[in-house]
Amino acid sequence: MLNTFRRALVTNIQYQQIRLGHRIRGKAPIYCRTIKERLDELNYKDEIYTTRIDIGLPMVKSSSSEKRNGRLEHIKKIKSDRTLEKLAREHKLTVDLLDARKEWLNTLAPFHKKDIADHYGVFEHLYGEGYFLPSVNLDISYDMDNGSTLPVYTGNVIKPRESLQRPYVSFESDNDTLWTLVMTSLDGHLTESDKEYVHWFIANIPGNQVEKGDTLVEYLQPFPLKGTGFHRYVFVLYKQNAKMSYDLPKVTSASLENRTFVTRDWYKKNQDEITPGGLAFYQSDWDDTVRDFFHKTLNTKEPIYEYDFPAPYIRPQEWYPRRKPFNLYMDKYRDPKQINKEYFLRKLKNEDPFKKPPPPLKFPNAHAFPKGMPSWLKLHERKIRLGWGRVNDV
């Protein structure tokens, strides 16, 4: 009874892990389960939660025997090529990376892209149990100032400064098909963490002419907040069966109003008409353009976050602590703000706004302390001179 009660209380709080000295607890190693077995049991999820549904376009299968014969022919040709053999033996054979990539896009790329997207949790956060094989190759690239382009692949890092303007998008398509392109941020929502912001939404793209589509939501630069790390920005290309008029509010300004979006709900509503086919995503972390975005475009203060580390473990205070330095021991149970204030006041005491600050001591340990100074105070002073410990928190 008590155990269950305690567990209910404890679940939400993450404590710092501590290890107290102990003898072997539980069964002897040869009888007990291994750590792997125990972790597998802990992380076990029922089939209901792990079954996934393919919602993508069907993979086009080409004739395998024809392909195989063509490949065998090609390999025969290579094997009889004397110059190629010589190059290979001298370690000078270099493959054409562009050509290799093109071939990869036609063969294994959808499977590899799906693997890496799963690794980044993209499908899980877009569709829940749904996933798709990105069989349509999406070429997305941002133009840089110096004339080069910065392509979006599957998880590469692009800074906000480099993605201020809308990217250039291209994909292969016949002229009759209609497409929808959606760019969302999976991690960027300011208030609800399980929702997304839609950064760009173009519907009814005829063929691969992105400019001719209906822009429902104008492009908005990514704004990963300071201190929150890397955010994912995902482009998904959907194939339409017919001309669509999604009943979404039209957003033309850069404000965050009406940009809240849940891909899963939106897809569920339109799933009979649209099918996801192409995927590209990148990661982005904070730089100064985010600050400018908040100050100039949104006209608000920029939120700054810091990671919430678990508090250090401090054992309960004792009436008569034995063999503990009294000052250090007492400091552990005082308000840290008060301690920092004391260090701060001490620092201010030696500062004069009209004088040049004295140069730092060249040999801090060579300066003698006044006679009769207790040893604990000497240590305290020495720590401050050397910049060790709590002085750094001020």
Partner 1 sequence: MNSIRKLSLIQQSSRLSSTITAEFVNRNPRNLERIRIARKPDGYHLDKPGRKYWHKLVLTPSNRTVTAQVVHFVNGPVIQAKTSEWALRKQLYSINDTSAYINLAKVFTQRCLESGITEMHCDIIPTKGGKVEKFLNELVDGGIKLTEPDVYKQPNPWDQHRPEKPWEVTEE
Instruction: Scan residues 25-44 and list those touching partner 1 (CB under 8 A).
Output: 35, 39, 42-43
Taking the CA atoms of residue 163, residue 164, residue 165 and residue 168 in that order, the dihedral angle to the nearest 10 degrees is: 0
Quote the strand ranges of 129-253, DSSP E. 130-131, 138-143, 149-152, 154-157, 168-171, 178-185, 196-206, 214-217, 231-240
Q: Does 115 bind partner 1 (CB under 8 A)?
A: yes
Separation between Cα atoms, residue 254 and residue 192, nearest integer Å: 19
What are the structure tokens assigned to 219, written together? 């492009």
CB atoms within 10 A of CB 274: 24
Footprint of partner 1 on residues 82-101 (CB under 8 A)? 84-85, 87-89, 91-97, 99-101
**Two tokens, residue 251:** 């957003």
Nearer to partner 1 by Cβ, of 212 and 334: the residue is: 334
Closest contact distance (angstroms) between CB of 355 and partner 1 is: 28
Of residues 37, 54, 73, 81, which one binds partner 1 by CB under 8 A?
Answer: 81
Q: What type of residue is 19? A: R
Positions in 119-138 near partner 1 (CB under 8 A)? 119-121, 125
Report the site for partner 1 in 184-243 (rule: CB under 8 A): 186-187, 190-191, 193-194, 225, 227-232
What does the block give as tokens for 349?
């005491």
| Cβ 188 to partner 1 shortest distance, Å | 9
CB of 117 to partner 1, least distance (A): 10
7: contact with partner 1 by CB under 8 A? no
Residues 301-340 that bind partner 1 (CB under 8 A): 301, 303-309, 312, 328, 331-332, 336, 339
In terms of residues, how long is the chain? 394
Site for partner 1 in 330-389 (CB under 8 A): 331-332, 336, 339, 388-389
CB of 179 to partner 1, least distance (A): 23
Residues 60-79 that bind partner 1 (CB under 8 A): 71, 74-75, 78-79
Nearest CA to 279 among 130, 98, 103?
130
Return d(Cα 177, Cα 175) in angstroms, integer: 6
Rg (C-alpha) for the chain, rounded Å, is 31
Spatial CA neighbour of 240 closest among 199, 264, 200, 206: 206
Q: Which of 33, 54, 104, 317 binds partner 1 (CB under 8 A)?
A: 104
Nearest to 280 by CA among 141, 92, 143, 100: 141
Q: Which is nearer to partner 1, 301 or 362 (CB)?
A: 301
Of 246 and 294, nearer to partner 1 (C-beta) is 294
* Beta carbons within 10 angstroms of residue 304's beta carbon: 11
Token code pair at residue 176: 């009759």
Nearer residue to partner 1 within complex by CB, 144 or 243:
144
Nearer to partner 1, 244 or 379 (CB): 379
Q: State the minimum distance, in angstroms, from the CB of residue 379 to partner 1.
A: 12
- Which positions from 256 through 295 interact with partner 1, judged by CB under 8 A? 282-283, 285, 287
Q: Which stretch binds partner 1 (CB under 8 A): 115-123, 172-180, 261-269, 369-377?
A: 115-123
| Rama region for 296: left / alpha / beta (φ>0; ψ in -120 to 50; rest) | alpha
Q: Tell me if residue 2 falls in helix, strand or coil.
A: helix
211: its two tokens = 């400019």
Query: Smallest gap, in angstroms, from Cβ of residue 80 to partner 1?
Result: 10
Quick one: which segment of 114-122, 127-135, 244-252, 364-372 binds partner 1 (CB under 8 A)?
114-122
